[in-house]
Structure 1
Amino acid sequence: MPYNIWCVGCGSMIAKGVRFNAEKKQVGNCYSTNIWSFTMKSACCQHEVVIQTDPKNCEYFIISGAQKKVEEFDTEDAETMVLPVDEERSKLANPFYRLEHQEEDLKKKKEAEPLLVRLQRVSDARHFDDYSINKSLRAKLRLAARKMGLGIRLLSASEEDTAAVKCVKFSSNFVINLSNEWLRHII
């Protein structure tokens, strides 16, 4: 599913990214690009949903059986930037307009800078000492394994083990060669 939709049959929402077994057929062309139609049954009520590609606008649109879920949000609540509309973009191409608004942009940058610097410091502090992070993770995993009875007790090292380890040779293509004595020890 290319975006969130409402099923017309039962009114339930079908989320973006849900996979369907759909019947795919070519219904036309836009210059040299094929226009495809996908017919599928909704999982909730087996209602037929038809979606078609729109290569001219690089989109999909619903032919029948569903309605696109309109999701609107406030840019301040979502903490995102408002992209300039076409009128403003054309104004930004004008050097005088840019010069007049350059101070305002610098002010916005200075206001956002402390937050970005603080976030960078927190990130750096969290990832500075990889060894201690890895050590604490291993300790937690060992504790969890002991609680679940998954701990494996190791035997103390012996002279036979030391001799067997010395027989292990790694060739250039990463194949391990073991001596016959070591193999007998394992079996």
Structure 2
Amino acid sequence: MSERKVLNKYYPPDFDPSKIPRMKLAKNRQYTVRLMAPFNMRCKTCGEYIYKGKKFNARKEDVENETYLGIRIYRFYIKCTRCLQEISFKTDPQNTDYEIEAGATRNFMALKLAEEQARREEREAREEEANNPMKLLENRTQQSRNEIEMLESLEELRDLNRRQQTVDYSTMLEQYNPAETERERLDREEREDEAFVKSVNFKSKTEGSTRIVTEEIIEEVKEEDINPPAAKVVKPTSLSAGNNNSSTAPPIVKRKTPLVLVRPKAPPAPSAAASTSSVAVAAPTSSATSKPAGLSLLAAYSDSSEDSN
């Protein structure tokens, strides 16, 4: 597929480029370029401020008889946006910057000028020391004198601190040893752990010294609630066999004692032995409560009366 727009042109076989007439142009002619203001500036005629980055249609030309290490230097011409005064500036490849020439003043130049002055003085002093050995000797003597003065002032401050404070810093620094401090701390913790273990008495559960204490609630049951049978009246002759003066005594009636119910509270975590003992103790209690206690008392009374008869 052929190209839509052909860029190459046809050259006939008898084409001779030397026969083409040349235009005679000026050696240093100007070109119109589009650029932005490289720095903030102020017009000298009307005082208009031109900020950095404002776009202009500028004229560009080469600076004659001025280069830096083979690099060309260019000059630009712009016009003020208010009074149309022409402003010119050129490139500065040595400092990678631009330099204002005419028509305006650059803002914020004080800091730049101070830095340039400091660099210039430092360069001049270095060149003077390199070319003048006596100047180098004087500078070294002055530096040594300044160092001695600083050491003397430092020693005076140390003496003043020693008089005001009684702390011996050298001894403190000698005693301070991070490794020893860490070792001592570990030993102290180990001793504390051993003392704590010795202070605690660990008793084995197999030993018979462990006791489970249960809380008991004692309640008195009235005789009307139990409903016992009538008590048996014992003849006075059976009780007073060996006593002659007992015939006048009133008949003795034996009554049963009030029943006492014991309700032990279950322990929070009873062992197997404790549970079996509790079951063994609870069994007679339940049997005793199931049967009325009065029958057993009557049987005992009847036996005693038969024996006496």
TM-score by length of 2: 0.24
Larger Rg, first or second structure (1 or 2): 2
TM-score by length of 1: 0.37
Higher relative contact order (CA 8 A, sep 6+): 1
